[in-house]
Chain A
Amino acid sequence: MKKHFREFSVAAALAFVLLGLAIFAPAFFQPQPLLSLLTREAPTLLVACGMAFVIISRQIDISVGSQFAVCSVCVGLLAAKGWSLPLVFIASVSMGAIMGAFNGCLVAGLRLPSIVVTLATMVTWREALRWQRQGEFVNLPDGLQWLGLSQVMGQWTLILAALVLLALLALATKHLSAGRFVYAVGTDAEAARLAGIRPQLTTFSVFVFMGALVGLAAMMNVVQSPQVDPKSGSGLELKVIAAAVVGGVAVSGGRGKLWGVFFGLLLLACISPALTHLHIEAYWEKAIQGAIILLAVVADGLRTRKQRN
């Protein structure tokens, strides 16, 4: 309990918000809007998990939003060309992994700071896409939306897929040696190297994995609408970094749990609908989200200070 205190406190905060809504705005719990909310957040959850790994390994990737847009447009174009669903799926994941590998090469290979590298790739991918598409939407063929299922079935499929992946990733973090590498490298890369772990390879792999998850998330997002917006995914990086930080991932690396990220994401995601239901002006949304992030960071700061003494 003490070990997971940080994660439990986020879960408790979420429970508190949900309880408040149950009392003051029971309309929040209508099934259809709630289902839509969760479906919208399903792809974000995957990207947030990837981001958690990146931050735990003491790096950052702010190009995920742009990667997301590139993958989305790719999915759209390939599907429009008549590629089958599994092929499009593979293409999207590979596309993301390639972009992640590009970041990884620069960060791990040349040992450049990840914030600068991913800032550059963020701008590059985004602008290249704008130049290529000129802001034009891509129309998707009929069979693609909701994976060819009914809307409700499609929504449930996406939510379940995201949850199953979350569970698998959380298990893998604990039970795969790769998971241990990420934590070790994030806490003390030199110590990890002395123990025979290869920190640069670990960092590279984390970026590739991040990209692959973005590709997957893009796929899950595209199937929710009849068209692909080439501007999709803007601001995604901030959203997922916020979710990771609120969920207890330490920006200094080496600490964090995926289920904490899950609750962090839900907490941030239900602010906007909650405000609507409570008849508070939507302008407050960002301010409240900012306050939550600040609170999380301050709590972590106080905690580490207490540990140090």
Chain B
Amino acid sequence: MKTLLQLSAVTKSFGAVRALKGVSFDLHAGEVHALLGENGAGKSTLIKVITGAHQLDGGSIEINGERVARLTPASAHQLGIACIYQQPALFPDLTVAENIGLRLEPMSALRKVNWVTRRQRAKELLKRIGAEILPDAEVRSLSMPEQQLVEIACALGAGARIVIMDEPTASLTHKEQHLLFAVVKDLRASGVGVVYISHRLEEIFQLADRVTVLRDGQSVGTNKVSEINESGMIKLMVGREVSTIYPPSESETGNVVLSLKKLGCASCGVKNISLDVRAGEIVGMAGLVGAGRTELARVLFGIMPADSGEILLNGQLITISTPKEAVAHGIAYVPEDRRRHGVILEMPIAHNMTMAIHDRVFPGAWLRCGAEKQIALDLIRDLAVKAYGPEAPGGSLSGGNQQKVSLARWLATKPKLLILDEPTQGVDVGAKSEIHKIIRRLAKEGLAVLMISSDLPEVLGMSDRIAVMRGGTITAMLPAKTDAHEVMAVALGQTENGAAK
């Protein structure tokens, strides 16, 4: 069988983070090769290396048996590599034919467009994959799977021999999936190599010939799908012990602080959430990207208000429709993307820290400089923020210290419930363990903590209880001493251990 793509010992680092630590991967003509791994295992980075979006640091890439020294998006395109993303990257205001034309026609500014051939080609390509889409339809009016089909048509038209599909079925219905699978099988039959990424194990068994599992930036095994079962795959995905030392759980849990009863928000896909969080308790939220964890946090913080169910805070029924109300109720939310929404990089950290407590530093609307400085100094000392002083701008701090500032802003509000969204994402190991200690200490002081994390060892190491989300709802509540295998099985929707409801 002809090898289309051969990656050998590929490494890639971003700053201090080593995203790929020597990954080897190969793709034959006429096969579907599935790529599997937890969030953050390095799948996206690997794809971006193959499509030329990232330059590799070490290792080599061979395409069609020839070594490629420097792969750029343009040269990858020429070598017949195409990638279909979960969110199609089409121009919504242009027609299907125009979108296909933009991809396939030569890129010169003063080129005469031949509308007849452009439309003709679009029609033929769409027919080849069996899609009933009009070339003159505006892309905006197409459904998500139809847009993906347009992407596939582009890939075909470009003569792609290597097609990468990144979670193509994530937003598809059952029927649409079948349509897509038929197209993928056709592609395979015509000798195209498909790299298929999905979290849905059943799809991999239906579709793939081989599967490679990535973990922590390394490939931990390539198997024929016929020679491995689901359990074996999950074992490969998580297969590691909780390596870091986590602070022990020694807090005594108190009263129920937050109680959710059948909470739902139709517009953000969260439904039927029932959950209790007690004072002094850390509840970890596990699940795959897109399972609805961040959405739940946003509902609780009033960013996207709930439209069904009840929220009880300390036994009182409350409604939360804006972040301001959430803050007034004593809810704090440390958002996922600290560089975007957590810390204002241009502002001094003192201003950042007092941003949610303006009524305290501006009593009677007039700033008490001394009070603000004192609050900032206390928080800096308390959380061991490394900065030259309260007036240092947020942007001058390292990632871990920025995260501490983001946390400090919310601690200053003296909350009852603290929601953390990926509290240690992109933070170095030292700061990570410091943040873990702070979170544990806060719980010990009686705070109720809801911690969303895609870092499975972190969830396992920190949580007193683990809520696993899938498809916008909580599918299981697991005790603290659950093993990774079981959490992952529930997150993936497997029910073999009887843990999932």
The digit string for B355-380, where 1 denotes a CB below 8 A from any CB of A, is: 11011011001110100000000000
Select which of A174, A178, A187 is within 8 A of B365 by beta carbon. Answer: A178
Chain A residue with the shortest CB-CB distance to B363: A177
Q: A194 and B358: CB pair below 8 A?
A: no
In the complex, whether A254 has a CB less than 8 A from a CB of chain B is yes
Q: B347 and A194: CB pair below 8 A?
A: no
Tell me, in angstroms, the Cα distance from A177 to B341 when the chains sit together: 20
Q: B367 and A175: CB pair below 8 A?
A: yes
Select which of A181, A188, A195, A254 is within 8 A of B356 by beta carbon. Answer: A195
Chain B residue with the shortest CB-CB distance to A178: B365
The digit string for A188-204, where 1 denotes a CB below 8 A from any CB of B, is: 10111111111000000
In the complex, whether A183 has a CB less than 8 A from a CB of chain B is yes
In the complex, whether B187 has a CB less than 8 A from a CB of chain A is no
- B-chain residues with CB within 8 Å of residue A192 when the two chains form the complex: 344, 355
In the complex, whether B261 has a CB less than 8 A from a CB of chain A is no
Chain A min CB distance to B341 (Å): 5
Q: Which of A175, A191, A254 has the most CB of B within 10 A?
A: A191
- A-chain residues with CB within 8 Å of residue B323 when the two chains form the complex: 193-196
- A-chain residues with CB within 8 Å of residue B347 when the two chains form the complex: 183-184, 187, 254
Chain B min CB distance to A255 (Å): 6
Chain A min CB distance to B235 (Å): 39
- B-chain residues with CB within 8 Å of residue A4 when the two chains form the complex: none
Select which of B328, B344, B365, B367 is within 8 A of A188 by beta carbon. Answer: B344
Tell me, in angstroms, the Cα distance from A181 to B322 when the chains sit together: 17
**Given A175-B366, A176-B362, A195:B346 Cβ within 8 A:** no
**Given A176-B362, A176-B365, A188-B340, A194:B335 Cβ within 8 A:** yes
Interface size on A, residues (CB 8 A): 23
The digit string for B337-349, where 1 denotes a CB below 8 A from any CB of A, is: 0001111111100
Interface size on B, residues (CB 8 A): 31
Chain A residue with the shortest CB-CB distance to B358: A177
- A-chain residues with CB within 8 Å of residue B343 when the two chains form the complex: 191
Q: A197 and B362: CB pair below 8 A?
A: no
- B-chain residues with CB within 8 Å of residue A195 when the two chains form the complex: 323, 327, 355-356, 409
**Given A176-B366, A195-B409, A196-B356, A184:B303 Cβ within 8 A:** no
Select which of A191, A194, A307 is within 8 A of B303 by beta carbon. Answer: A194
**Given A176-B365, A196-B323, A254-B346, A190:B340 Cβ within 8 A:** yes
**Given A174-B367, A177-B362, A180-B351, A194:B346 Cβ within 8 A:** no
In the complex, whether B386 has a CB less than 8 A from a CB of chain A is no
Chain B residue with the shortest CB-CB distance to A250: B346
Tell me, in angstroms, the Cα distance from A213 to B164 when the chains sit together: 59
- B-chain residues with CB within 8 Å of residue A177 when the two chains form the complex: 358-359, 361-362, 365, 367
Q: B351 and A191: CB pair below 8 A?
A: no
- B-chain residues with CB within 8 Å of residue A174 when the two chains form the complex: 367
Chain B min CB distance to A305 (Å): 14
In the complex, whether B196 has a CB less than 8 A from a CB of chain A is no
Tell me, in angstroms, the Cα distance from A147 to B114 when the chains sit together: 72
Tell me, in angstroms, the Cα distance from A9 to B20 when the chains sit together: 47
Tell me, in angstroms, the Cα distance from A183 to B344 when the chains sit together: 10
Tell me, in angstroms, the Cα distance from A254 to B348 when the chains sit together: 12
Chain B residue with the shortest CB-CB distance to A190: B341
Chain A min CB distance to B298 (Å): 10
In the complex, whether B324 has a CB less than 8 A from a CB of chain A is yes
Q: Which of A180, A191, A194 has the most CB of B within 10 A?
A: A194
- A-chain residues with CB within 8 Å of residue B342 when the two chains form the complex: 191
Q: A191 and B341: CB pair below 8 A?
A: yes
Chain A residue with the shortest CB-CB distance to B326: A196
- A-chain residues with CB within 8 Å of residue B340 when the two chains form the complex: 188, 190-191
* Contacting residues of chain A (277-309) with chain B, CB-CB under 8 angstroms: 307
Chain B residue with the shortest CB-CB distance to A179: B367
Tell me, in angstroms, the Cα distance from A188 to B394 when the chains sit together: 13
- A-chain residues with CB within 8 Å of residue B303 when the two chains form the complex: 193-194
Chain B min CB distance to A14 (Å): 26
Tell me, in angstroms, the Cα distance from A206 to B355 when the chains sit together: 19
- B-chain residues with CB within 8 Å of residue A194 when the two chains form the complex: 301, 303, 323, 333, 335, 341
Q: B367 and A197: CB pair below 8 A?
A: no
Chain B residue with the shortest CB-CB distance to A255: B346
- B-chain residues with CB within 8 Å of residue A183 when the two chains form the complex: 347, 351
Q: B367 and A184: CB pair below 8 A?
A: no
- B-chain residues with CB within 8 Å of residue A196 when the two chains form the complex: 323-324, 326-328, 356
**Given A175-B366, A194-B301, A196-B327, A187:B346 Cβ within 8 A:** yes
Tell me, in angstroms, the Cα distance from A155 to B415 when the chains sit together: 55
* Contacting residues of chain B (294-312) with chain A, CB-CB under 8 angstroms: 301, 303
The digit string for B392-412, where 1 denotes a CB below 8 A from any CB of A, is: 000100000000000001000
A–B pairs, 11, beta carbons within 8 Å: A177-B362, A184-B344, A187-B346, A188-B340, A188-B341, A190-B341, A192-B355, A194-B335, A196-B356, A197-B355, A198-B322
Closest 7 CB pairs of A and B: A177-B362, A196-B327, A195-B355, A175-B367, A196-B324, A195-B356, A177-B358
Interface residues of B (CB under 8 A from A): 301, 303, 322-324, 326-328, 333, 335, 340-347, 351, 355-356, 358-359, 361-362, 365-367, 369, 395, 409
Given A177-B365, A180-B358, A198-B322, output 17 extra A-B contacts at Cβ < 8 Å: A175-B369, A176-B362, A176-B366, A177-B361, A180-B351, A184-B344, A184-B351, A188-B341, A191-B340, A191-B343, A192-B344, A194-B303, A194-B335, A195-B327, A195-B409, A196-B324, A254-B346
